[in-house]
Amino acid sequence: MEDESKALINAVVHEAAAPYRKMAEVVLGYVFLDDLEERRELKKQQRRKNRIDIVRESVRILEHRKVGPDPEMVAPEHIEKIMSAGEDTSVPELQQVFSRLLAAAMDPDRRPYFRQEYVDIAKKFELLDALVLQAMSAAGIGGARWINQVADRIKRSDDEISVSGENLEQLGLLMPQDGHESVRKSAYISPKGRQIIKCIGD
């Protein structure tokens, strides 16, 4: 990285309030990386760390369930599909989804619920989508007031929940209730949504 870039980063970091200095240093340090190979190496290291975190959490999940993992019964391409899909997220709540998918694939009791398409669905999750689906399942939420009920439960706005609901509908995890054209009016978890919850739920 050139001295001029380093000086600019130091200046911005110095001006920032204490809680934000590390953030500014990390973001600007990445933006001003001049060496493409260095940037690629950082990404490679982060992906490796994310994979390790996913495996570590999947082991913890299986230990908590007192289930002996059976990785030899899992197709290698299934494991690679899960790891490849999850390696680009460092968000703990989304990593948790991939860890639970991996645990399900190695759990003799949950393997029947595992489908490869669930990995593709999880890759399209936003953080709020995972929280909304979890809240609806945990509290048995559905019907005409589902948006208000989820918003109250996870402390987010009705608009945020509505947007998330539309994405969950596109992913096939939410369905409009009979007589309604949109999940904005009334919704419940779809059969596919219930099955993926069986796969990755507690």
Distance of alpha carbon 126 from alpha carbon 134, whole angstroms: 13
Instruction: Give the pLDDT confidence score for residue 42 in this predicted structure.
Output: 80
Residue 43 pLDDT level (bands cut at 50, 70, 90): confident
pLDDT at 174 over 50: yes
Q: Does the predicted model carry a pTM greater than 0.85?
A: no
* CATH topology (fold) of 127-200: Arc Repressor Mutant, subunit A (1.10.10)
Distance of alpha carbon 110 from alpha carbon 130, whole angstroms: 20
3-state secondary structure of 66: coil
3-state secondary structure of 201: coil
pLDDT at 1 over 50: no
pLDDT at 34 over 80: no
Q: What is the pLDDT of residues 99-143, one digit of tens each?
A: 999 999 989 889 889 999 999 999 999 999 999 999 999 999 999
